[in-house]
Amino acid sequence: MAEEQKGSSPLHTVGFDPRFPNQNQTKHCWQSYVDYHKCVNMKGEDFAPCKVFWRTYSALCPLDWVDKWDEQREKGIFAGDIQP
pLDDT tens digits for range 14-59: 777 777 777 788 899 999 999 999 999 999 988 999 999 999 999 9
Is 1 a residue whose pLDDT tops 60? no
The architecture that CATH gives domain 26-75 is Orthogonal Bundle (1.10)
Position with higher pLDDT, 84 vs 62: 62
Look at residue 54 and give its three-state secondary structure.
Answer: helix
**What rounded mean pLDDT belongs to the chain?**
85
Contact 38, 54 (CB under 8 A): no
Is 6 a residue whose pLDDT tops 70? no
